[in-house]
Amino acid sequence: MKTAKLLMLAVMMTALMLGACAGPHGYGAGSGYREAALERGLAETNEQVDRAVKDPEKAKQAKAIVQDIVNEVKQSFKKTSDYHQKLYALNANYEATPEQFMKILDEQNNERMASATRILGFRFKLKSLLTVQEWKDLTEAMDKTRSRYMPKRESM
């Protein structure tokens, strides 16, 4: 249960870093929008770090870790786009085999898992830097922010 909560927090931090889905976008949304959304998410997260972490030096270190997460997310987007381009090119090839598609999909999934692992490592680095109270304050602030941007789920 504790591991699930920790993983959920890492996912939440990643979602917030993705700009919290602040506006309408869909398939084909440009990287300019994504960059702007990431920068808005980073700015908001940095403000939350400043409020939760009173020691300026520690806050500076925490924001550097948050920046590492953002950088990893940017790299992940770029690599995902590259894999999509490979799939588009393969799809245009009438002679393409299922094995060729599976090879690209396997590579993409392996890279996605490696990226998620790196982000999770940054999450634990951030956690080890902060006190229990700072962590609680930061995650509560991030929960409030996330709830503003995440769509409401309908109950069954």
**SS in 3 state form for 79-145?**
HHHHHHHHHHHHHHCCCCCHHHHHHHHHHHHHHHHHHHHHHHHHHHHHHHHCCHHHHHHHHHHHHHH
Query: What span, in angstroms and rounded, lies between the C-alpha atoms of 13 and 62?
Result: 13
Is residue 9 scored above 80 in pLDDT?
Answer: no
Torsion of CA 9, 14, 20, 21, to 10 degrees: -120
For the segment 85-107, what is each residue's pLDDT rounded down to a tens digit? 999 999 999 999 999 999 999 99
Cβ-count burial 73-94 (b if 16+ within 10 Å, e if not): beebbebeeebeebbeeeeeee
Name the least confident of 40-44, 68-72, 123-127.
40-44
Q: Global pTM?
A: 0.73
With beta carbons less than 8 A apart as the criterion, state whether 10 and 127 touch. Answer: no
Query: What span, in angstroms and rounded, lies between the C-alpha atoms of 48 and 138?
Result: 6
Place of tokens 């509560």: 140
Torsion of CA 1, 66, 29, 22, to 10 degrees: 80
Is residue 42 scored above 80 in pLDDT?
Answer: yes
Domain ranges of the chain: 2-149
Is residue 128 scored above 50 in pLDDT?
Answer: yes
User: Residue 18's pLDDT band (boundaries 50, 70, 90)?
Assistant: very low
For the segment 103-116, what is each residue's pLDDT rounded down to a tens digit? 999 999 999 999 99
Q: What is the pLDDT at residue 27? A: 44
Is residue 28 scored above 70 in pLDDT?
Answer: no
